[in-house]
Amino acid sequence: MRSAVIKRKTKETDIELSLKILEYGKKGCFTGTSGIGFFDHMLTSFASHGGFEINLKCAGDLNVDGHHTVEDVGIVLGMALKEAAGDMKGIKRFSDILMPMDEALVMCALDYSGRAFLFFDSTFTSPMIGDYDTQLTVEFMRALSTNAAITLHLKALYGANDHHITEALYKAAGKCIGDALRVISDEVMSTKGVL
């Protein structure tokens, strides 16, 4: 089983995260807490639809705001994905999806290439969803893509409810990452011979 445990402690956060990449088609799960209710809901959606078992222990400076916690969880999750993916031999590598959630529709396309890049295009009308700052969605995705070394494109095509748009973005990212990590051959999917 492809798995990783990452511990990272700074003056702002103290995080331990364990990750297992499940057999493709298996429903994942999230346990633990970030201390931010809506963010835990997003991590649950990411894990469930991506086919990941994620356990999180996190203490962050939430007395300041949620920024360090959300960004640093993205960093640690990206590091765990990179470690669990190993040499990436035989992975599908590319994935894309149109993810609907009620009136919202988002697009995700990615290349699990070893090259980090994020394109993110989404507008939110509310500054907060519960105790979650909507600006932190792009910060999480940037930290995730950088540390997992993924080329990740996310775009909200339309939607009226920020909860729905945000959740569709997390679901789409999780689903595409899980799909791209699916082992489909014994060859490296690259003309260079390595990823």
* Domains in the chain: ranges and CATH: 2-180 (3.30.230.40)
Whether the Cβ atoms of residue 80 and residue 5 lie closer than 8 Å to each other: yes
The tens digit of pLDDT for each residue in 96-140 reads 999 999 999 999 999 999 999 999 999 999 999 999 999 999 999
Predicted pLDDT of residue 59? 97
- Calpha distance 159→134 (Å, rounded): 14
Phi, psi for 86 (deg, rounded to 5): 60, -135
pTM metric for this prediction: 0.95
- For the chain (195 residues), the mean pLDDT of every run of 10, in chain order, is 95 98 94 98 98 98 97 98 93 97 98 96 96 98 98 98 98 98 83 64
Whether the Cβ atoms of residue 176 and residue 160 lie closer than 8 Å to each other: no
Whether the Cβ atoms of residue 19 and residue 32 lie closer than 8 Å to each other: no
Alpha carbon distances (Å) from 19 to 76, 79, 92: 10, 10, 20
